[in-house]
């Protein structure tokens, strides 16, 4: 067992984490790392409590945004299984809400700072949580009051803590004893029915021009499979985290029968799937995707080299 005190910028919380037990992410966005030693000086904002994902991404140049030290990101309240604790302030975890069957049957494995976690409670909260619908919002100490937790992103699930007051909803935030408040306009109920293609593309379109960040999973920065995962997460559907696993979890569609909202998958000859994009409407094959080459989310016709590496169309 490791006991750590939260930094003085947040309320003091005595955090107890134990291997073999679940914990919750207590920062707006937690970055999952390949190894504690892989972090760089430029990564300090992402390692802090509270984390500053926007400051981290804007502080990196284009090459630093595609380093291989980042595996994925986890959102506020996301569950992890703690598998090991190190006295230097790091936890080896499995992100159980991000399927990665090639890596670990339990979820996506990696490393998080222990200060960004809090023990999970036996009560998982109400069965009908709210989901953040804004690209980014802040949780406040009171209705219209000061921001207590900034940068809470699209797709984050929040447990309600009572009735709305003057356009503000009280919610529970992991690691905090008192409810925080979010603007009603920034959250919504999870859909009760499967999303339509229009629903999928409407969410994805709001992420256009977001920076490409390897392993990114937020409206501050995102990668190709992160975009697909996050869009469907916002709509109440859980897909695996990586593109090849997403292909395995979805249904192939015959070439030429794709429709908006389907997924294009790409692979070079003799190699595994390396890219995914959302099929969009328009003349000729077009997709909305997080583009490594142009370092942003965009919509474009498939150029000849993309068509040459297109290996499948799938439907969720």
pLDDT along the chain (316 residues), means of 10: 39 70 98 96 97 97 94 98 96 98 97 97 72 98 97 97 96 95 97 94 97 98 98 97 97 94 96 96 89 96 93 96
Query: How many residues in total does the chain contain?
Result: 316
119 close to 174: Cβ distance less than 8 angstroms: no
Q: Strand 217-218 to strand 221-222: parallel, antiparallel, or no bridges (unpaired)?
A: antiparallel
53 close to 216: Cβ distance less than 8 angstroms: no
What is the rounded CA–CA span in Å between residue 48 and residue 26? Answer: 11
Q: What is the pLDDT of residue 284?
A: 77
Q: What is the pLDDT of residue 114?
A: 98
Q: Which residue has the tokens 């009280």?
A: 170
Q: What is the pLDDT of residue 15?
A: 54
Q: What is the pLDDT of residue 125?
A: 59
225-to-168, 230, 275 alpha-carbon distances in Å: 33, 8, 7
Strand, helix or coil at 135?
Answer: coil
Q: What is the pLDDT of residue 70?
A: 97
Residue 217's CB is within 10 A of a number of other CB atoms, namely 31
Q: What is the pLDDT of residue 126?
A: 60
């Amino acid at each position: 067992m490791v006991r750590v005190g939260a930094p003085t910028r947040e309320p003091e919380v005595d955090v107890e984490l134990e291997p073999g037990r679940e914990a919750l992410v207590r920062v707006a966005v937690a970055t999952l790392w390949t190894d504690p030693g892989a972090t760089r000086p430029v990564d300090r904002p992402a390692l802090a409590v509270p984390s500053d994902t926007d400051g981290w991404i804007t502080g990196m140049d284009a090459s630093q945004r595609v380093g291989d030290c980042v595996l994925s990101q986890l959102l506020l309240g996301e569950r992890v299984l703690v598998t090991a604790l190190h006295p230097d302030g790091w936890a080896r975890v499995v992100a159980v809400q991000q399927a990665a069957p090639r890596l670990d049957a339990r979820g996506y494995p990696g490393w998080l700072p222990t200060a960004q976690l809090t023990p999970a409670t036996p009560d998982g909260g109400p069965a009908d949580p709210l989901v953040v619908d804004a690209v980014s919002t802040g949780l406040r100490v009171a209705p219209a009051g000061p921001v207590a937790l900034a940068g809470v992103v699209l797709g984050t699930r929040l447990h309600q803590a009572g009735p709305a007051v003057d356009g503000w909803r009280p919610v529970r935030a992991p690691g905090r004893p008192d409810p925080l408040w979010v603007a009603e306009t920034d959250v919504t109920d999870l859909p009760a029915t499967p999303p339509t293609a229009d629903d999928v593309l409407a969410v994805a379109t709001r992420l256009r021009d977001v920076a490409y960040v390897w392993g990114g999973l937020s409206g501050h920065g995102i990668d190709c499979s992160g975009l697909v995962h996050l869009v469907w997460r916002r709509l109440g559907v859980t897909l695996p985290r990586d593109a090849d696993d997403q292909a395995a979890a979805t249904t192939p569609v015959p070439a030429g029968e794709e429709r908006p909202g389907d997924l294009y998958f790409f692979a070079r000859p003799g190699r595994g799937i390396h890219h995914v994009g959302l099929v969009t409407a328009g003349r000729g094959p077009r997709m909305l995707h997080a583009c490594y080459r142009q370092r942003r989310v965009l919509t474009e016709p498939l150029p000849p080299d993309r068509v040459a590496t297109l290996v499948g169309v799938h439907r969720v």
